[in-house]
């Protein structure tokens, strides 16, 4: 290989971007032995060629300095540095020298000019999609671009810019010093996990984290990793420092950061909670806390009887009152934090002195009563971690109703969608603990039907079935889906060509055999 850059797997294939050989290699199976040969090459006519743009001008089948690569098992997206563009293949290529379907950053496939605009790129780097949005980093423009949906036509403008005040500004650190809303020269590999955006900021020696995907330009980050605050940029070799981080990735339990100039990979054990940044908290000006179910109303998070709803098992076998997800905690300085799925929140950097913190009651479950002081006056001291937690209690009637409503879902019925996904039964006995999302849609495309699946708890799914019904609600087929649950499933239209309407439903099952189902969708077949 020649200067391999980003690598990616869709769970089956392995994709490798090769900068110096101006190609992307596809291994149809992740290699299990040394020296495995790739199956497909993109950007070159064969496996032995390696010229930039195949020795000529750019085209839909050429590459010049690819850096980023991403796939969901159906589409392939490549970030191409030296052609200042992103190529999108609507299907994973199965033959060498395949042509892209869509180009982003250029007006057409034969242009390769750099630019600073909503529809231009300056040395595209890492690319990533959460199945909905497309996110791209740029070396030259010190910014991250976000498309709210993956483009299906060429030359589409981005919807949001992060790191700059607008689409026509491209200065490093916005022409000044590092801040929560700026980037240095290189942002190599952005990623999204659990609704958070992670971006390595190479020249500022840090990784920036947004707790929500930005929807407005110039949105500041919520968390900084590798620095004690958003204005420091010094490199270091301790557990709390970074030196030119290059990529970031999460498997849901851990956060991995490639620390390039330190020749190491740092691993943060984040589990199902928010990122544990305790090394930063110890350096001061930080608030850490929790919003929890205060079942007995005493203002403290106690160990209680395991039979009570709203409790959480501990590692030592005891049970404690559970945290509440999605509650907004507000500071009088104007900043706020949202509690994670364990009820935890934090302000990684807050002004020293007397501060007021309070819960936004509009973000609490209906009927909830705050059992601790809110607003609460706290003293923020340089170098000291401040801990502030809030208790919340529901009226007794609400607690009893909530406890009764959670249990094993009702028996499967093709035209019934349960009120409560099994994830809340399998993982939590508190209906406010999680917000599972399961949805399926269908559309006709040429000679096939494409089902699009949205799910935010696929790691807990043991098996899944896509059920198809005719216009009389008679079951046509029950299609087992692979594990992990795919984002897309294609069905040849010829298999159902005799039907005018197709009804469909997705069923998923956990390890205990409990089922969650989407509602019934309908597709009119032309």
Q: Is 188 strand, coil or helix? A: coil
Please count the structural domains in the chain. Answer: 4
Q: Which of 19-33, 245-259, 314-328 has the highest mean pLDDT?
A: 19-33
Q: Is 346 strand, coil or helix? A: strand
- Whether residue 442 is found in the same domain as residue 501: yes
- The rounded distance, in Å, linking the Cα atoms of 103 and 223 is 33
Chain segment 475-516, per-residue pLDDT in tens: 888 999 988 788 888 888 777 766 667 788 888 887 777 777
Token pair of 169 as six digits = 């500004």
> 442 lies in which domain range?
406-524
Neighbours of 220 (CB within 10 A): 15
Query: 457: domain CATH number?
Result: 2.60.40.10
- The rounded distance, in Å, linking the Cα atoms of 296 and 391 is 10
- Whether residue 7 is found in the same domain as residue 154: yes
Neighbours of 517 (CB within 10 A): 24
> 176 lies in a domain?
no
- Whether residue 124 is found in the same domain as residue 141: yes
Confidence of residue 473 (pLDDT cuts 50, 70, 90): low
User: What CA dihedral angle connects 38, 264, 84 and 153, to 10 degrees?
Assistant: 70
Chain segment 211-254, per-residue pLDDT in tens: 888 999 999 998 899 998 999 999 999 888 999 998 888 765 67
Q: Please tell me the predicted confidence (pLDDT) of residue 494.
A: 78
User: What CA dihedral angle connects 393, 397, 402 and 404, to 10 degrees?
Assistant: 140
- Whether residue 301 is found in the same domain as residue 333: yes
- The rounded distance, in Å, linking the Cα atoms of 497 and 305 is 58
- Whether residue 112 is found in the same domain as residue 131: yes
Let me know: does 65 contact 82? Beta carbons within 8 Å.
yes
Q: Which residue matches tokens 């959460």? A: 130
Q: Which residue matches tokens 């300095």? A: 65
> 92 lies in a domain?
yes
Let me know: does 130 contact 111? Beta carbons within 8 Å.
no
Which of 170, 204, 231 terminates a domain? The answer is 170
Residue 102 vs residues 42, 94, 133: alpha-carbon distances, Å? 15, 17, 15
Q: Please tell me the predicted confidence (pLDDT) of residue 270.
A: 61
> 247 lies in a domain?
yes
The number of residues making up the chain comes to: 526
344 or 431: which carries more pLDDT confidence? Answer: 344
Task: Please give the full DSSP string across 463-493, using - where no structure is assigned.
Answer: EEEEEEE-TT--EEEEEEEPSSPPSEEEEEG
Which of 240, 274, 308 terminates a domain? The answer is 274
- Picking from 356, 357, 318, the residue whose alpha carbon sits closest to that of residue 337 is 357
- What integer is the mean pLDDT of 246-265? 83
- Whether residue 413 is found in the same domain as residue 382: no
> 47 lies in a domain?
yes
> 322 lies in a domain?
yes
Q: Is 403 strand, coil or helix? A: helix
Chain segment 369-387, per-residue pLDDT in tens: 888 888 888 888 766 778 8
Total-model pTM:
0.55
Q: Residue ranges of the alpha helices (H) in 132-264?
A: none
> 84 lies in a domain?
yes
- The rounded distance, in Å, linking the Cα atoms of 16 and 161 is 27
- Whether residue 323 is found in the same domain as residue 386: yes
Sheet containing 160-162: which strands, arranged edge to edge? Answer: 124-129, 134-138, 143-147, 160-162
> 180 lies in a domain?
no
- The rounded distance, in Å, linking the Cα atoms of 372 and 376 is 9
How many CA atoms within 13 Å lie on the side-chain side of 112?
17
**Phi, psi of 293, rounded to the nearest 5 degrees:** -75, 115
Q: Please tell me the predicted confidence (pLDDT) of residue 324.
A: 81
Task: Please give the full DSSP string across 444-465, using - where no structure is assigned.
Answer: EETTEEEEEEEES-GGG-SEEE
Let me know: does 144 contact 183? Beta carbons within 8 Å.
yes
Tell me the pLDDT of the chain averaged across its residues: 80
Confidence of residue 98 (pLDDT cuts 50, 70, 90): very high
- Whether residue 14 is found in the same domain as residue 115: yes
């Amino acid at each position: 290989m020649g200067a391999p850059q980003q690598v990616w797997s869709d769970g089956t294939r392995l994709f490798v971007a090769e900068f110096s050989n101006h190609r992307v290699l596809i291994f149809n199976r992740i290699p299990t032995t040394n020296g495995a040969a790739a199956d497909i090459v993109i950007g070159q006519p064969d496996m032995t060629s390696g010229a930039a743009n195949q020795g000529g001008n750019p085209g839909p089948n050429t590459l010049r300095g690819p850096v980023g690569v991403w796939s969901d098992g159906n589409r392939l997206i490549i970030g191409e540095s030296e052609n200042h563009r992103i190529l999108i293949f609507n299907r994973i290529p199965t033959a060498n020298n395949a042509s892209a379907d869509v180009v982003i950053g250029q007006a057409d496939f034969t242009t390769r000019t750099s630019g600073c605009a909503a529809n231009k790129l300056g040395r595209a780097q890492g690319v990533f999609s959460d199945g909905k949005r497309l996110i791209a980093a740029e070396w030259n423009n010190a910014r991250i671009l976000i498309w709210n949906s993956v483009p299906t036509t060429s030359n589409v403008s981005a919807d949001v810019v992060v790191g700059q005040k607008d689409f026509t500004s491209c200065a490093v650190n916005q022409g000044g010093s590092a801040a929560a809303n700026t980037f240095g020269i290189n942002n190599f590999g952005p990623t999204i996990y659990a609704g958070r955006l992670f971006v390595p900021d190479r020249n500022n020696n840090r990784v920036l984290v947004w707790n929500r995907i930005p929807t407005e330009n110039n949105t500041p980050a919520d968390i900084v990793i590798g620095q004690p605050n958003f204005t420091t940029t010094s490199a270091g070799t301790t557990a709390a420092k970074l030196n030119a981080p290059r990529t970031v990735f999460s498997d849901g339990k851990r956060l991995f950061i490639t620390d390039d100039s330190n020749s190491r990979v740092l691993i943060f054990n984040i589990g199902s909670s928010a990122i544990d940044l305790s090394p930063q908290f110890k350096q001061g000006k930080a608030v850490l806390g929790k919003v929890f179910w205060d079942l007995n109303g005493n203002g403290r998070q106690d160990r209680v009887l395991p039979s009570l709803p709203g409790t959480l098992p501990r590692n030592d076998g005891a049970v404690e009152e559970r945290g509440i997800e999605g509650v907004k905690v507000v500071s009088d300085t104007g900043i706020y934090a949202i509690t994670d799925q364990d009820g935890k929140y934090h302000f990684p950097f807050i002004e020293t002195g007397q501060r007021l913190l309070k819960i936004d009651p509009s973000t609490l479950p209906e009927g909830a009563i705050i059992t601790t002081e809110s607003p609460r006056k706290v003293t923020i001291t340089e170098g000291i971690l401040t801990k502030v937690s809030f208790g919340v209690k529901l009226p007794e009637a609400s607690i009893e109703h909530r406890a009764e409503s959670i249990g094993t879902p009702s028996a499967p019925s093709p035209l019934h969608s349960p009120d409560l996904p099994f994830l809340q039964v399998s993982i939590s006995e508190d209906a406010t603990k999680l917000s599972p999302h399961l949805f399926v849609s269908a559309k006709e495309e040429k000679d096939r039907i494409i089902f699009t699946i949205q799910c935010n708890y696929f790691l807990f799914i043991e098996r899944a079935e896509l059920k198809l019904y005719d216009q009389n609600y008679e079951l046509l087929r029950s299609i087992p889906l692979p594990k992990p649950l795919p984002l897309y499933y294609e069905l040849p239209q010829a298999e159902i060509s005799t039907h005018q309407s197709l009804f469909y439903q997705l069923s998923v099952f956990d390890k205990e055999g409990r089922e969650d189902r989407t509602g019934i969708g309908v597709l009119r077949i032309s």
